[in-house]
Chains A and B, each alone.
Chain A
Amino acid sequence: MLKIVGSFVAGIVFTAVLAWNMMGGLMFVERVSPFGVEETVARIQHNIQDTGNGWALSGLRNPAKAIQQDGGNALPVLMVEACSTAYSKPILNEDSVRFLSILMPCKISVYKKNDGKTYIGTMNAGLMGKMFGPLVGDIMGKVAADQVKFVVMDPSKPAPQMIVPKPAGEGGGGGGGGGGGC
């Protein structure tokens, strides 16, 4: 009996440790971009505008700028913010999941690493949505499907211009009012 209970507990501990270690990797997705930071951002911005479903740009942040203003250095990071009222409205109207407004607007991070390559970081919206019941799961599933379109990098298309919001949403804090979305 002791052996069975012991094995069961050991199994739970093993699974918990495994889940703990994998959680970070599952919640977020990172991929390499074939383009530089600005061009990647520009392509994502235009993809968002072309996706439809109510998506609109709501900001562009530069957290590295704040570090520079504080006297330090950080490799370039630009965060594209986008929102769709078609998806945000049902969540914001349901009290039980309204706290998920903390995840709004949807963010896509574009950054350079020490290998000199540009990366795109996104939230695994599909997986995270499933944790919060059928309403959120359904909406986040749609968000995840759109997110796939956001990060398509088609080299056959010419590089579009980066959309810099007015006033500039730099400094890591200031919003970059793009005028759209949520």
Chain B
Amino acid sequence: MRYKSMLMATLALTGTVALWSVRASDAPAAAPAADQAPTKQTPQPSSVEQRAARTTADHSKFEALQKDFKSGPEVTKACLSCHTEAAKQIHKTKHWTWEWVNPDNGQKLGKKNVINNFCTSTQSNEAFCSSCHIGYGWKDKNFDFTSEENVDCLVCHDTTGDYKKLQGLAGHPVYKQMEYPAKSGKMVPAVDLQDVAQHVGATSRASCGACHFLGGGGDAVKHGDLDTSLKNPKRYLDVHMDASGLNFSCGTCHATKGHNIPGSRYTPTGKDAIAKHIRGKVDESNPTTCQSCHGQKPHKDDTIITAKLNEHTDKIACQTCHIPQFARGGKPTKMLWDWSTAGKLKDGKPFKILDSAGHDAYASIKGDFKYEADVVPEYQWINGKVKYTLLGDPVNTNGVTEINHYYGDANDGKSRIWPIKMFRGKQPYDLESKSLLVPHTAVGYGEKDDSAFWQNFKWDAALKAGAEASGQPFGGKFDFVETTMVWPITHMVAPKEDALTCTQCHSKSGRLQGVQGIYMPGRDANKWLDIIGWLAALGALVGVIGHGALRIYLSRKAG
């Protein structure tokens, strides 16, 4: 009986241990949260399948689209026969006007007016730059902004991927097979407008990205957090756009009303203090902020750590922790552009020099560059107010001129610390008026122009032509001034497990070491507070040792 009891107890104990070990070994394999296991998610349907499931109209069956279209405006006319208000809506948007007045300071912004430190300005270069305009035929100042047929519906609504607007064609696609670039020997086929028109649909990352991924003259050049790696991104690159996960399109956040697309660096929201958007509720606040979906307490408030993280959201933009680096998709972004070295020729011909990774380090037409991938951002306070240095504004000849200045202050109650791409450049300015100059660089396809810098590499002629086109004075003498341009970073949101850790900011040489106006434990120190603390610690140690020694001494004396 005794042995039987012992045997039973042993078996029970063994079974318990076995069960416990099975549970223990199973534990790490327990199903993780949906957003942590991208490889185990059910594959998402393709964009074509998704569109087919959503749409109630098959455009290939529309009578108006059964034509052999010869031009883009012809397609637009057909589109407008059903979508009667679309062009009128487009005409009111920045995407059409390339113009926007900042209500805070009255500055006229938009691509038509701003001068930056990438390609500098669209003025005098319209035929080239308008490949990213949602219209047809903008090649000079005579473009008809009131024409409805000049609106390009296909550039945003194409789903075939075949519709491309090449630079130099004044916003038109290729209607007849052509050699592009000229004298390159490469032939570009004509677009099948009927096919594209019959396969229109909602905008996608690819259609928005056709311009926004390629800004500044190439893939990943301008923004740093927007490039072609986001066409079909994996989860590590962006948890929202993850093609096999949430698969957000741009329009998911940039929720559009009447073709007006919200979310712009001209009107950034430094601190969104509005509660999350709710279906059915009319909400006029910016729908592109993190808070518009995630609210003001985005972390589960169930531990001391997450509660502490929620306390950070009043001063720290979500992007600061959740976008640890930008240009993470394998496409390096341009970090520096020095126009002052442009124009060198070898044997009378332009040339290029490549950097170690095979990207342009120098090009005769543009000057010196510096590319970088996986860039650790710089950080600054941003409250949503921004001021640009426009044509005619004075430059800082003794230092660096800020192309745009984002305002922000730790104590204004409207600012948060944001990650930014700080783009540095060197560009021409007029020695007399001390203001920036527009170089006339590009011309329309096949055109000859002695004053275009990319044709004749003569700064004088290019700046004179640019000044004439932009209505600015040019005294004939110029130099180059250092400039910076700030690009708030907001895309390429990493998985939460890759967010910044506490010590990446709370340390002496942490990421926020340059951010002023706040006391950060771990980064900042008060000399007297430190002395008092150390004295208190030392006093406690002396007290404990003294007390212990005294007790030992007294016990020996007593014993």
Residues of A within 8 A of B (CB): 36-39, 41-43, 67-73, 75-76, 112, 114-116, 158-162
Contacts and interface: CB of A to CB of B under 8 A. Distances in A.
Interface stretch (B304-312, B350-358, B401-409, B539-547): B350-358
Interface stretch (B179-187, B208-216, B279-287, B369-377): B369-377
Contacts of B511: 114-115
A41 B374 contact: no
Given A68-B236, A71-B39, A73-B498, A114 B355 contact: no
A175 to B, nearest CB: 21
30 contacts: A36-B356, A36-B372, A37-B373, A38-B355, A38-B356, A38-B357, A39-B356, A39-B357, A42-B356, A67-B236, A68-B237, A69-B234, A71-B235, A73-B236, A73-B325, A73-B328, A73-B494, A73-B495, A73-B498, A75-B325, A112-B376, A114-B376, A114-B504, A115-B511, A116-B376, A159-B356, A159-B361, A161-B354, A161-B358, A162-B357
Contacts of A42: 356
A43 B357 CA distance: 11
The main secondary structure of chain B at its interface with chain A is: loop
A29 B26 CA distance: 40
B495 A72 contact: yes
Contacts of B235: 71
Contact of B375 (A115, A116, A159, A160): A116
A67 B494 CA distance: 13
A41 B356 contact: yes
A158 B38 CA distance: 43
B324 interface: yes
B447 interface: no
A112 B374 contact: yes
Given A72-B498, A73-B236, A112-B374, A161 B356 contact: yes
Given A36-B356, A73-B324, 12 more contacts: A68-B234, A72-B497, A75-B325, A76-B374, A115-B509, A116-B375, A116-B376, A159-B355, A159-B356, A159-B361, A161-B356, A162-B357
B76 to A, nearest CB: 42
Nearest to A35: B356
A68 B498 CA distance: 11
Nearest to A158: B353
B36 to A, nearest CB: 8
Contacts of B39: 71
A70 B358 CA distance: 27
Interface string B323-347: 0110010000000000000000000
A158 B375 CA distance: 23
B374 A162 contact: no
Residue among B353, B376, B510 with max Cβ neighbours from chain A (10 Å): B376
A115 B325 CA distance: 11
A72 B356 contact: no
A84 B173 CA distance: 56
A41 B355 CA distance: 12
Contacts of A75: 325, 374, 376
A9 to B, nearest CB: 21
A161 B353 CA distance: 11
User: Across chains A and B, which 3 residue pairs bring their CB atoms closest together, nearest first?
Assistant: A42-B356, A116-B376, A38-B357
B60 to A, nearest CB: 38
A162 B236 contact: no
Interface string B222-238: 00000000000011110
A160 B328 CA distance: 23
B234 A71 contact: yes
B502 to A, nearest CB: 12
A161 B358 CA distance: 7
Contacts of B358: 161-162
A160 B374 CA distance: 21
A72 B375 contact: no
B423 to A, nearest CB: 15
A115 B505 CA distance: 10
A140 to B, nearest CB: 29
Contacts of B353: 158
A159 B509 CA distance: 29
A73 B509 CA distance: 22
Contacts of B237: 68
B376 to A, nearest CB: 4
A70 B325 CA distance: 18
B330 to A, nearest CB: 9
Contacts of B38: 71
Contacts of B373: 37, 76
Contacts of B375: 116
Nearest to A73: B498
A133 B38 CA distance: 51
Contacts of B324: 73, 114
Contacts of A114: 324, 376, 504, 510-511
A153 B373 CA distance: 21
A172 B374 CA distance: 18
Interface string B360-372: 0100000000001
A158 B353 CA distance: 10
B48 to A, nearest CB: 25
Residue among B357, B376, B494 with max Cβ neighbours from chain A (10 Å): B357
Nearest to B372: A36
